[in-house]
Amino acid sequence: MYTIQQLAALAGTTTRTLRHYDTIGLLVPARDDNDYRRYTSSDAERLQLILLYRTLDVPLDQIRQLLDSTTFDRVEVLGEHIEALRQKASYYARLAETAEATLTSLKGGIPMEDKSLFKGLSYEEIQAHEAKHQEEVQERWGDSSAYETAQARASKRSKEDWERLNQKQIDLIAPLVELFRDGVSVQDERVQAIVKENHLFIDTHFYDCSIDMFSGLGQMYVSDERFTAFYDRYESGLASYYNEAIQFYCGNR
């Protein structure tokens, strides 16, 4: 038998995720006399399948059908998600092309316009990409006030607002890229000024971003390949550099 903490550690997931799965009836453990969750080996096997399907971006309700129904067409669903993976691969291939074009430009090749830095990340593509990961976002942060604030602010934005914020983000990243290329320490006041401005940008336009949350966001820049790809398109290693700068900033607040 496993406690919720033991199973989360074993599977490399979080207790928040396991509680969420319990709430929606996807992974419901037994309860002991003290009403604590107790997971069996069968529960661990089921969680393994759940996490496998999550890597394929299968929605949680479909995962429940896959695991609970003997009549569900698993071959058809797997075929659909193979295609989804191919689309995801195509998305990252476009990001790689953008990074390669940027590298060519930096080496004195074909110059890139600023808008080309976000090739593959147009307003429509950003919306579509975020929609694909909405369930994951809600699963991670759905019960937080920051999530509610971000959703409320996002719902009021027009296409022009999004494009303005995207341009502002480019403007904020650009000087950081130059300092990184010049080998400037993350503790340098110029780097820290940029980090502070980015912190205020997030806090003002997206959600109330505490120091702890900003620190966690920096860590995601190196732990989540999607964030890493976003920053490393400018310069390989930028995501790690930015995270280190954020951690120094947060540690001195």
Number of domains, the chain? 2
Write the pLDDT tens digit of every residue in 65-75: 888 877 767 67
Please state whether 243 falls in left (phi above 0), alpha (psi between -120 and 50) or beta.
alpha
In the prediction, which pLDDT does 249 show? 93
Query: Which structural domain range is residue 59 located in?
Result: 4-68
Our CA angle for 221, 202, 94, nearest 5°, is: 45
Which of 68, 98, 124 is the endpoint of a domain? 68
Q: Could you tell me the mean pLDDT of each successive run of 10 residues in the chain, 253 residues long?
A: 92 90 93 93 87 77 82 69 72 60 50 45 47 46 52 64 74 87 93 92 77 81 78 84 92 82
Our CA angle for 186, 163, 216, nearest 5°, is: 35
Write the pLDDT tens digit of every residue in 10-69: 988 889 899 999 999 999 999 999 999 999 998 998 888 888 778 766 788 888 888 887
Hey, what are 24's tokens? 């929606």
Which of 68, 84, 99 is the endpoint of a domain? 68
Is 0.75 topped by the overall pTM? no
Same domain, 60 and 130: no
In the prediction, which pLDDT does 138 show? 46
CA atoms of 21 and 27, how far apart (whole Å): 5
